[in-house]
Structure 1
Amino acid sequence: MAEVYPWQETLWQQLAGRSQHAHAYLLHGPAGIGKRALAERLMASLLCQKPNALEACGNCKSCHLLAAGTHPDNFVLEPEEADKPIKVDQVRELVEFVVQTAQLGGRKVVLLEPAEAMNLNAANALLKSLEEPSGNTVLLLISHQPSRLLPTIKSRCVQQACPLPSEAMSLAWLAKSLPDLGDEERADLLTLAAGSPLAALRLQEQGVREQRALAVDGVKKLLKQQVAPSQLAESWKALPMNLLFDWFCDWAQLMLRYQLTQDERGLGLADMHKVVQYLADKTPQSRVLAMQSWLLEQRQKVMGKANLNQVLLLEALLVQWAALPGTDRR
């Protein structure tokens, strides 16, 4: 049974309480807020033969088959490999499933995640099934980045924004999930995860605090000219590129914010307060804007899984970062 998250209860009552369901839902929102769990919970309820109130009973034949991963009327579509696209052949298998008759006599339910992983051919192959699914079929699409979806995909679904929990609710959940950490450590994790509690938990499991400490220490040594950009880039090969570019984009944004407001409360996490403030004071705003533009462009390539030379890209980043401080304040 999928975990029930407290910040989803209102939405759950709305979704599961419907007397008639749409043929396709697009559940969207930031990664790490429990969209997959919500979809799996709804999928179980839709397939259950004897639902208890709004929930799957967990005891009928359908529930047992779903729990075993052998339900004949359930189809889960994901990339064949992590961070790879969903291919058109995979979607064609889904289409073949949709046109079949439900073997248990009830609904057929499809879960597709992430929807934005479909390449253009795959997305086009899905359109017919989204518009006119056969029989009593419900398609549940999950998207972390709905802006990357074709408008024709979005228009054929009931689009449902999934709620981001409040900071207090997220911290309370993290306190139960990570009881060995202190309040400040959990708050820092949540900040690094852009407010998404499940993402914060995954980051902790990946050792993000240690990775962050390594990156921050390297940046400080770079600015003190204690390490060369090429050396630092080589030493960062094991660090996730997406995290590094997230952090550098964040630091550039914090520098701009401080230049505009002079508000020391807006300097981000404490580990980079002094560095962000120093760079904001010493760097021309035009240079910060140019740095931010370059970072965002490269970050898109990293997120798009472009074939990049990691060390060379990091060295280019670090050379520019080291050159930020200057006397021209124009």
Structure 2
Amino acid sequence: MAEAYPWQDELWHRLAGRTQHAHAYLLHGPQGIGKRALAERLMALLLCQRPAAQQACGACKSCLLLQAGSHPDNFILEPEEADKAIKVDQVRDLVGFIVQTAQMGGRKVVLVEPAEAMNINAANALLKSLEEPSGNTVLLLVSHQPSRLLPTVKSRCVQQACPLPSQAVSLQWLATALPEVDEAARIDLLALAAGSPLAVVRLQAAGIVEQRALVVDGVKKLLKGQQTPSQLADAWSGVPLLLLFDWFCDWSNLLLRYRLTADEQGLGLSDMRKVLQYLADKSTQNKVLDIQDWVLMQRQKVLAKANLNRVLLIEALLVSWMALPGQR
């Protein structure tokens, strides 16, 4: 049974308490807040033969088959490889499942995650099934980036925003999930994860603290002339490209904010405050705006899984960063 997260209680009661369900839901929100778990709980409830108190019983034949991964009326559509697209052939297999009669006499339930991984052809192939699914079928689409979905896909679903928990609720949950991490570190990790508590656990396991220290140290050495962009591009080979661009995007936003407000408390985490204050004081607003636009543009390409030369992209990023201080 998927975990029930405390920040989802209100939303769960609204969804589980419906007397009639939509044929398609789009559960969207930031990554790392438990949307997949919410969808799996709803899937179990919709398939359960003896639901009680807005929960799947966990003991009927349907629940046992679902737990074993062999329920004949359940279909999970996701990329065949991590970070790859969902292909049109996969959607055609799904459409073939949807037109079949439910083998256990109840609903058929489909889970698609992440929905934005469908390429254009795949998304178009799903449209008819989204609009008029055969029989008693419910489709649950989970999206971390709904802006990347076709409008025709979104318009055929009941769109449900999933809540980002408050900092207090997240820290309370993280105290149990990461008891070995002290509170100050949990606060910093939550900031690095943009407030998504499940992302904190994943990033902590992936060594984000060490990766962040490596990148911050590299930026400082770059600005002091102690390392070159090409050296840092090699040194950062183990840091995910999206994570790098997330940080530089955040730093460029903080630079602009500081130039407009001169608020030192708005310079983000302590590890980069002095660096950002120095860059903001030594650069022009136009330069900051230019690098912000460039970083955002490149981040979009990374998100879209464009075929990028990682080393050249990081070098270009760092050359632009080096040029921030200078002639005003």
Q: Which TM bucket (shorter chain)?
A: over 0.9
Which secondary structure state, in structure 2, belongs to the residue aligned with residue 142 of structure 1?
A: strand
Provide TM-score, normalisation by structure 2: 0.99
Specify the SS of the correspondent of 1:134.
coil
Residue 326 (str. 1) matches residue 306 (str. 2): no
- Report SS of the residue matched to 2:81: coil
Cα deviation, 1:26-58, whole Å, max 9, x if unaligned, reads: 101111110000000000000000011210001
Name 2:274's counterpart in structure 1: 274
Aligned position for 1:247: 247
Residues in 2 aligned to 1:29 and 1:238: alpha-carbon distance in whole angstroms = 28
Q: Which residue of 2 aligns with 1:198?
A: 198
Q: Secondary structure at the match of 2:320?
A: helix
Distance 1:230 1:10 in 2: 50
Q: Partner residue of 2:312?
A: 312
Deviations 1:202-257 (A, max 9, x none): 11011001000000000000111111111111211121111111111111111111
Equivalent position of 1:128 in the other structure: 128
- Which secondary structure state, in structure 2, belongs to the residue aligned with residue 86 of structure 1? coil
Partner amino acid for 2:79?
P
CA offset digits 1:177-224 (Å, max 9, x no partner): 001111110011111111111111111011001000000000000111
State the SS of the aligned residue for 2:246.
helix
Q: TM-score, normalised by structure 1?
A: 0.98
Give me the CA root mean square deviation: 0.8
* 2:152 counterpart letter in structure 1: T
Which residue in 1 is equivalent to 2:56?
A: 56
Deviation at 1:304, TM superposition (A): 1.3
In the alignment, which residue of structure 2 is the partner of 1:154? 154
Task: State the distance in 2 between where 1:116 and 1:228 align.
Answer: 37
Amino acid paired to 1:293: D
Residue of structure 2 equivalent to 1:287:
287
After alignment, is 226-235 or 111-120 more displaced?
A: 226-235
Alignment of 1:105-254 (within 5 A): 105-254=105-254
Amino acid corresponding to residue 229 of structure 1 in structure 2: P
Amino acid at match of 1:172: Q
- The answer to whether the aligner puts 1:88 opposite 2:88 as a matched pair is yes
Counterpart code for 1:252: S
For residues 284 and 39 of structure 2, what CA distance do their matches in structure 1 show? 48
Structure 1 unaligned residues grouped into runs of 5+: none
Per-residue CA distance 1:82-109 (angstroms, 9 max, x = gap):
1111111100111111111111111100
Number of residues paired by the alignment?
Answer: 328
Code of the aligned partner of 1:64: L
Q: Give 1:308 shift.
A: 1.3
**Displacement, 1:327?**
4.1
2:277 counterpart SS class: helix
* Structure 2 CA distance for aligned equivalents of residues 114 and 229 of structure 1: 34
- Give the match's secondary structure for 1:271: helix
Cα distance between partner residues in 1 of 2:232 and 2:98 = 52
Which residue of structure 2 aligns with residue 20 of structure 1?
20
Query: What residue ranges of structure 2 are gaps of 5+ in the alignment?
Result: none
Displacement of 1:309: 1.3
**Identity over aligned pairs, percent:** 75
